[in-house]
Structure 1
Amino acid sequence: MLSLRPAGAPRPVPVVAAAHGEQPLVEVTALGHGRFPGSYRRTDSVIGAALRYASHETTVDGLWHRLRVVQADPSRGVRATSVFEAHESAPAVRAWTEIEVAGDLVIDAVTSVATGSFLADSGAGSVDDLLLARADNDWLAESRWRVDPLRDAGLADVGREAHNHQAPRTRIALGNRGSWSSGEQVPTGALAARDSSYALAWQIEHNGPWTAEVGETRRGAYLALTGPTDHEHQWSVRLTGGATFRTVPVSLAVAAGGVEDALRALTLQRRAIRLPRPADAALPVVFNDYMNTLMGDPTTEKLLPLIDAAAAAGADYFCVDAGWYADGHWWDEVGEWLPSAERFPGGLAEVTGRIRERGMVPGLWLEPEVIGVRSPLAETLPDEAFFQRSGVRIAEHGRHLLDLRHPAARAHLDAVVDRLVGEYGAGFIKMDCNTMTGPGSDLGSLAPGHGLLEHARALLDWIDGVQARHPDLIIEACASGAMRMDYAMLSRLHMQSTSDQQDPVRYATIAAAAPAAILPEQAGNWAYPQAGMSGEARTLALVNGVLGRMYLSGYLNRMAPDEVAAVGEAVAAHRVVTGDIRERLPIWPLGLPVWDADWTALGLRSGDHAYVSVWRLGGAGSAQLSLPWAAGRTLEIAPFFPASAGNWEWSWDATAGILTVTAPTAEPSARVLSIRAA
């Protein structure tokens, strides 16, 4: 791949094929056919170096343009087809690799795409001139972004002049293991020139393990994106007699700008690859009884006043979260998903009926992929319906793991969802995943990682089947917060819980960073105001949910009238935002949010207008927001939520494009501003 840049953008330097000859488009390793030289890297594969162009084909299907490039290594009987799809709405491509083997090979790694083209397209003179953006992820601490020069990020300058200019063997490896696709790092990143002349962002669209690797060749840097591999994830697959393996898809987006510009281009790509359904259209406000509220202990007595209060606040859906299916301790007994008679003496239908009476749609929490070790289903479902290693059923965190390749596992889950929709009118499922699988399942003599890959694909197929049967059902993606935040799932599902973080102040950074990894219209940011909070604390908790998909919680039934009114105002403001949120792109006037920063900001911009949330979490009383799109113009700035500025002040320097915002107190606080360039 010689060039990957926005259409119409000039080439900053001549593109010379020889300058890129060291990085094949596809890297493949197989048992008996590894790398030269040997290293930890996914590149330098002998098969990748041997592949040669055979043919290509271009097709157009509506707004989608497709390119298939076929390469072959006849000596090993390998054909590699690189597939690129580009939608006219986004400066991006979706790519994957199809490997066909005529003989008999055990493939242990294959890239979805590999490229060094961004070095020439950026005009960067060397690796020294490139930046890397990536985000660490963890329970309660999601989307912790960092932007560093490649040298500082790990590509050390080894003094190649003293070693005949040989390529270093170091790499920066990002990735995740097991079934949590974002359990350790977000499957999204970007490379950019220091001078912001060019940037490339990527995402790996797989609900399982992956690796993104950046390394150095003799002439520059490369990027290699893969799904599971043998070295990292115990993955391999035997291909014989013309069999084909398809890698996980990835997307690459480009921009003539910096990291944030490339992430905005990736936002357009996410919208292009989504599979819209009728249930997506309304973008309803969901109240959930869990966070800082019932915390997995719902009962009819506790729920009825919450239902009334949520309806009064303006919620559209009411989700009964964890615990509805068990009398007491339930963690290792889950799996049947039958309502608790003790919690609901009048039946769960009494609760769901009340939700509908109050004009809302009922929802239920579900963790479909697990069976508790003490559940009756652990004995009645066949062993083959569960993840296994060496003939032993895997148990993690008190649960066995269903393998959705098996028809009994799928039939069980189909029956559960159909019953919840049919008997209780569930229109919303909070689909959680709190148990990580480990490397996978070796059932059927497969490598564990390939068993996991097949299960992950079967899970997507199951979701597609559920949505085909129940097109009005909204499904939220959740995995201990945002431990499975990927566009294999989110291309299908409707919203994503962005964290389990219960401290509204710490949540602010998570909410501000979320649109770097997911669409703002899918970012389920919890807003959980509580009775007795100070005005500023309550406002901050609500601001967290305004620019995204507000996920409302908290004991609204215990609030005084003025507190209830504040919640209602936030919901109303959020509805205004969602009116055109799918036409807006994220901006970060203080840069990508930094964990534990004193100030953070997120904006959603369309043309000359932006909603901008600003959080003051500590430190100095003022912050300077960069708004380059409005530089040289007059700004109309008004408080959006709350409608009163509350002694917050701001001043605009049109020449510098800087908006200075001042908060009146040291207490953490936040505001949403409406900003229009005249």
Structure 2
Amino acid sequence: MAGISYLDDHRTWVLTGAATTYALRLDEDDVPTHVYWGPRLSPPEVVELTGKTLPRWDGFNDPNEGLDELAADGGTRYWTPALQLRFADGTRGLEWRYETHASTGGHLAISFTDRHYPVRLTLHYRFRGDVLERWTELSADTDVEVARADSATWVLPVLEDYRLSHATGRWAAETQLRREAVPHGETVFGSRRGITSHHANPWVMVDDGTATERHGEVYGVALAWSGSWRLTTTRASTGRLTISGGFGQDGVVHLVGPGKPLTTPVAAGLCTDGGFGAASRAWHAYVREHVLPHPGELRPVLYNSWEATGFEVSEAGQRALAERAAALGVELFVLDDGWFGARTGDHAGLGDWHVNRERFPDGLQPLVDAVHALGMKFGLWVEPEMVNPDSDLYRAHPDWVLHHAHRRRSELRNQLVLDFARPEVAAWAHGWLDRLVGDHGVDFLKWDMNRPFSEAGRPGEADQDRVWVEHTRAVYAILDRLRADHPGLRVEACSGGGGRLDLGVLARTDQVWPSDNTDALDRLRIQHGYSQLYPARAMSAWVTDNPNFVTGRSVPRRFRFHVAMAGVLGLGGDIARWPEADLAFAREMIALYRDIRPVVQHGALHRLRPPDGDGLVALQYVLGDRSVVLAYRQAAHFAEPDRLLRLDGLDPADRYLNPDSGATHSGAVLLAHGLRLGLPTGDFASTVIRLERIPR
């Protein structure tokens, strides 16, 4: 049974999840110290692991180093600090003094103060299934400089070796999975861009180097934060490894004082002994059940007009696209850029969020009504955090952008970043978004952000570094308020593709745009890295035109559809120009996707063959009595015959029907021997196979 126990005689807390236990204690100096994280143990069993602090080996080596629950700077503690404080008199560090603790509804809060200075610190813990959420609160009666405030330090058990899994990339090549040995010393992953970034994603997983999809211990940590962040692994010669993570970056200092508390984002941790596949399925379940705002929903098939029209938008053109999309079975029509202000290109208009009357003479309402009459929801692209210097907003409020005195205002994509940490800017943004959604009956917003921070300051402000935190918090607050005031509104997060993909933004949106690269071959790798932590239920995936606008590659339509069907299916091509054969095929594929959608979006994912090399890639989703297999042959070499594909997640005692072929299969045979895929010949071959459990 899940719960929290406090062992008073040992000053130890034991938190129990569905199949996991986490324990910490207070040492003789009141320092919160890690005891255990791993498979489930009872409180009496945890007691066997607790003990007194060990004496130092010598003047240079401490056997307790790296065991702190939140590694605070100070004294003879030399581990990678998760907390760094400097007081007004120049004193640095923290000396812990335990005050009290409280546990309610599965939430444990342990409160401390400094032994001399009026600083209060609370460590928070909460299990969601087998994912443990941790965060920290700081407050003070006088101003204190906080150079680093991580959410948690995670102490891993001593393993034979350590291997690190993480995602890296760039624009149009996000979430590329990497696996490599953990170096000794400190290894830092992060973003200094004010957004999550395309270049790294805020999670890491660690195993002993032998874990596979199906077997082995895996430990993972992920941050729920959409601004600048860092995760640091520290590996000592003693064999100890920790992961410390939180928001912020080197050189950014926050002031904590009266009326200025600091609460860190959630750092979530997970361990499993079922390999990377079990780890991913646990993360997916956590996101679906405890992170996403509407976890039980099915995400609709959408059409986005960007690739069809670019900035050449007109009411008549959008109506024509909407009519064709509805005829294909699309459920959500999204008007992308070019509908507002002087937005005829990316050089002007951002910030002037009023309908362009030359393009929409009677405003947006006629188009919205037409889309609704066709039986679809209506969505709009917006980029609230940005402004073009060539805009009425910038001419009226040049001080609203991030900038430093006596420094140039760097432009990227002809844009500057608005300072959402300013209350008047956040109020302005909420005001026009609220009117846009409420006055027009908008059902869906694609919230984009097409550049990172630069010159992140505000002249005249004493605590300018708070913008790195408060901007993101303001974005969260606006999204939270919009959703509360408009319960039917759904949101997709985008930042030039996958630049804002994390647990923090997923708590306020319904899906994310993982990459501007819709090339189906590249998407196999992008979606593979994405799936390590995030579920298909939140992954927007489009079918676009040949050749692909990013890569120039042409891929068969069947392959493009099947790859996009591994997530939330959407169309992004110029369907007004599609020949009837392509339209008929699209109708068929959308109907198929709508049938398998519950299994894909809410089922358990089994990665059967990863996109290594250029051979077969295969995924399987299982939900209740149904299973869906998606298989892709990237390239065929030497006319080699297809091998059987062993499935997973089925009951060996049951039989399964393929409703398309009429064939039945033994679950035991599918698991131990495999399924013949029957892929077409040649490169870019793909198939979708549906299986249904036959009632006994």
Q: TM-score, normalised by structure 2?
A: 0.81
- Tell me the distance in 2 between the aligned counterparts of 1:665 and 1:534: 20
Matched residue, 1:403 = 419
Matched residue, 2:127 = 86
Contact kept in structure 2, 1:599 and 1:623, CA below 8 Å: no
Counting only pairs closer than 5 Å after superposition, residues 551-566 of structure 1 correspond to structure 2 as 551-566=570-585
Q: How far is the alpha carbon of 1:488 from its aligned partner?
A: 1.4
Contact kept in structure 2, 1:391 and 1:443, CA below 8 Å: no
Across the aligned residues of Structure 1 and Structure 2, the Cα RMSD in angstroms comes to: 3.6
Matched residue, 1:618 = 635
Residues 15-34 of structure 1: per-residue CA shift (max 9 Å, x gap): 455676532111244xxx59
Residue 636 (1) aligns with residue 653 (2): no
Q: How far is the alpha carbon of 1:136 from its aligned partner?
A: 0.8
Task: Return the letter of the residue paired with 2:254.
Answer: V
Which residue, out of 384, 387, 393, partners 2:402? 387
- Tell me the distance in 1 between the aligned counterparts of 2:83 and 2:489: 47
Contact kept in structure 2, 1:225 and 1:250, CA below 8 Å: no
Matched residue, 1:221 = 240
How many positions carry a matched residue from both structures?
630
Contact kept in structure 2, 1:372 and 1:400, CA below 8 Å: yes
Task: Return the letter of the residue paired with 1:111.
Answer: D
The 3 A distance-change label for structure 1 pair 192 and 671 is same
Bigger Cα displacement from structure 2, 174-183 vs 626-635: 626-635
SS in 2 for 1:227: strand
Residue 260 (1) aligns with residue 277 (2): yes
The 3 A distance-change label for structure 1 pair 446 and 539 is farther
The 3 A distance-change label for structure 1 pair 190 and 50 is same
Matched residue, 1:142 = 174
The 3 A distance-change label for structure 1 pair 261 and 282 is closer
The 3 A distance-change label for structure 1 pair 511 and 226 is closer
SS in 2 for 1:276: coil
- Tell me the distance in 2 between the aligned counterparts of 1:677 and 1:8: 36
Matched residue, 1:167 = none
Matched residue, 1:474 = 490
Q: How far is the alpha carbon of 1:588 from its aligned partner?
A: 0.8
Contact kept in structure 2, 1:171 and 1:216, CA below 8 Å: yes
SS in 1 for 2:151: strand
- Tell me the distance in 2 between the aligned counterparts of 1:655 and 1:471: 44
SS in 1 for 2:445: strand
Residue 26 (1) aligns with residue 43 (2): no
SS in 2 for 1:673: strand
Matched residue, 2:255 = 238
The 3 A distance-change label for structure 1 pair 34 and 365 is farther
The 3 A distance-change label for structure 1 pair 218 and 79 is farther
Contact kept in structure 2, 1:327 and 1:341, CA below 8 Å: no
The 3 A distance-change label for structure 1 pair 209 and 192 is same
Residues 541-589 of structure 1: per-residue CA shift (max 9 Å, x gap): 1112223211222233333444222212222222223335564222211
Matched residue, 1:164 = none
SS in 2 for 1:411: helix
Task: Return the letter of the residue paired with 1:550.
Answer: L
Counting only pairs closer than 5 Å after superposition, residues 216-615 of structure 1 correspond to structure 2 as 216-231=235-250, 234-240=251-257, 244-274=261-291, 276-277=293-294, 281-291=297-307, 293-325=308-340, 326=342, 328-344=344-360, 347-381=363-397, 383=399, 385-390=400-405, 394-397=409-412, 398-438=414-454, 440-443=456-459, 445-446=461-462, 448-528=464-544, 537-579=556-598, 581=600, 583-591=602-610, 593-594=611-612, 597-607=614-624, 609-615=626-632
The 3 A distance-change label for structure 1 pair 535 and 182 is closer
Which residue, out of 93, 98, 101, partners 1:56? 101
Contact kept in structure 2, 1:633 and 1:654, CA below 8 Å: no
Q: TM-score, normalised by structure 1?
A: 0.83
- Tell me the distance in 2 between the aligned counterparts of 1:104 and 1:415: 34
SS in 2 for 1:4: strand
Q: How far is the alpha carbon of 1:183 from its aligned partner?
A: 2.4
Q: How far is the alpha carbon of 1:381 from its aligned partner?
A: 2.7
- Contiguous gaps of at least 5 residues in structure 1: 156-169
SS in 1 for 2:348: helix
- Tell me the distance in 2 between the aligned counterparts of 1:119 and 1:304: 59
- Tell me the distance in 2 between the aligned counterparts of 1:314 and 1:20: 62
The 3 A distance-change label for structure 1 pair 579 and 81 is same
- Contiguous gaps of at least 5 residues in structure 2: 1-33, 55-62, 86-91
Matched residue, 2:7 = none
Q: How far is the alpha carbon of 1:115 from its aligned partner?
A: 2.1
Task: Return the letter of the residue paired with 2:68.
Answer: P
Residues 193-224 of structure 1: per-residue CA shift (max 9 Å, x gap): 33544222221111101111112135333333
Contact kept in structure 1, 2:83 and 2:148, CA below 8 Å: no
Matched residue, 2:148 = 109
Matched residue, 1:119 = 157
Residue 669 (1) aligns with residue 685 (2): yes
Task: Return the letter of the residue paired with 2:302.
Answer: V
SS in 2 for 1:178: coil
Task: Return the letter of the residue paired with 1:145.
Answer: L
Give the percent of matched residue pairs that are identical in Structure 1 and Structure 2: 23
Q: How far is the alpha carbon of 1:3 from its aligned partner?
A: 1.6
The 3 A distance-change label for structure 1 pair 603 and 35 is farther
Matched residue, 2:24 = none
The 3 A distance-change label for structure 1 pair 49 and 661 is farther
Matched residue, 1:70 = 111
